[in-house]
Structure 1
Amino acid sequence: MAVRFRRTLRKHALTATVATAVAATTLYAVGAANATGSVPRSDKEIPNLTNVVNEIKAYYGDTVDGSGEHHASADSSYAKQVAGIEARAGAYLRQAVRHTRPGKKPAIVLDVDDTSLLTYNYELEVGFNYTPASNDAYIQNKNMRAVFGMPALVNWAADHGVTVFWITGRPETQRAASVRNLAAAGYTSPADTTHLYLNTKAPTAYLPCSAPTYTCTTTEYKSGTRGHIESLGYDITANFGDQYSDLNGGHADRSFKLPNPMYYLP
Structure 2
Amino acid sequence: MSRQPLVTSPRARRVLTATATAVALAGAALFNTGEGTAGSSTPQTDRNIPNLDQVKTEIEAYYGDVETENGEHYASPDSSYAKQVRRIEDQIRRSLNQAAVNEADGKPALVVDVDDTTLLMYNFERRIGYDFTGRAQDKYLESTDANPVFGMPALVNRAHDKDIAVFFVTGREEYQRDWSVRNLKKAGYDVPVDKEHFFLDNTNNPPPYLECGSECTTVEYKSGTRKHIESRGYDILANVGDQYSDLKGGYADKTFKLPNPMYYIP
Same fold? TM cut 0.5: yes
Q: Residues 23 and 38 of structure 2 are in contact (CA less than 8 Å); yes or no, is this contact kept in structure 1? A: no
Match status 1:39 vs 2:42: yes
Aligned partner of 2:22 in structure 1 is 16
Letter in structure 1 aligned against 2:22: A
Aligned partner of 1:208 in structure 2 is 211
Kindly state the Cα deviation for residue 9 of structure 1 after the two structures are TM-superposed. Answer: 1.8
Aligned partner of 2:89 in structure 1 is 86
Kindly state the Cα deviation for residue 7 of structure 1 after the two structures are TM-superposed. Answer: 6.1
Aligned partner of 1:258 in structure 2 is 258
> Which string of whole-angstrom CA distances, capped at 9 and with x for unpartnered residues, describes residues 212-262 of structure 1?
xx2100000000000000000000010000000000000000001000000
Aligned partner of 1:23 in structure 2 is none
Q: Residues 85 and 259 of structure 2 are in contact (CA less than 8 Å); yes or no, is this contact kept in structure 1? A: yes
Q: Which moved more, 1:120-129 or 1:41-50?
A: 41-50
Aligned partner of 1:232 in structure 2 is 232
Matches of 1:203 and 1:90, distance apart in 2: 33
Kindly state the Cα deviation for residue 44 of structure 1 after the two structures are TM-superposed. Answer: 1.2
Residue from 45, 64, 68 that aligns with 2:67: 64
TM-score, length-scaled by structure 2: 0.88
Q: Which moved more, 1:64-73 or 1:174-183?
A: 64-73
In structure 2, relative to structure 1, the CA distance for the partners of 1:258 and 1:129 (3 Å cut) is same
Aligned partner of 1:29 in structure 2 is none
In structure 2, relative to structure 1, the CA distance for the partners of 1:85 and 1:124 (3 Å cut) is same
> Which string of whole-angstrom CA distances, capped at 9 and with x for unpartnered residues, describes residues 54-109 of structure 1?
0000000000112211100001000000010001111111122xx21114111000
Q: Residues 16 and 55 of structure 1 are in contact (CA less than 8 Å); yes or no, is this contact kept in structure 2? A: no
Cα RMSD, aligned residues only: 1.5
| 1:171-210 map, 5 Å | 171-201=173-203, 202-210=205-213
Match status 1:50 vs 2:56: no
Deviating above 4 A after TM superposition, structure 1's stretches of 4 or more consecutive aligned residues are 5-8
In structure 2, relative to structure 1, the CA distance for the partners of 1:262 and 1:48 (3 Å cut) is same
Kindly state the Cα deviation for residue 45 of structure 1 after the two structures are TM-superposed. Answer: 1.1
> Could you say what secondary structure the match of 1:240 adopts?
strand
Gaps of at least 5 residues in structure 1 are 21-33
TM-score, length-scaled by structure 1: 0.88
Letter in structure 2 aligned against 1:232: R
> Could you say what secondary structure the match of 1:198 adopts?
strand
Kindly state the Cα deviation for residue 37 of structure 1 after the two structures are TM-superposed. Answer: 2.5
Q: Residues 109 and 166 of structure 2 are in contact (CA less than 8 Å); yes or no, is this contact kept in structure 1? A: yes
Matches of 1:250 and 1:66, distance apart in 2: 45
Aligned partner of 1:220 in structure 2 is 220
Gaps of at least 5 residues in structure 2 are 1-8, 27-36
> Which string of whole-angstrom CA distances, capped at 9 and with x for unpartnered residues, describes residues 150-193 of structure 1?
00000000000001000101011110000000011110001111
Identity %: 54
Residue from 161, 164, 167 that aligns with 1:165: 167
Letter in structure 2 aligned against 1:90: R
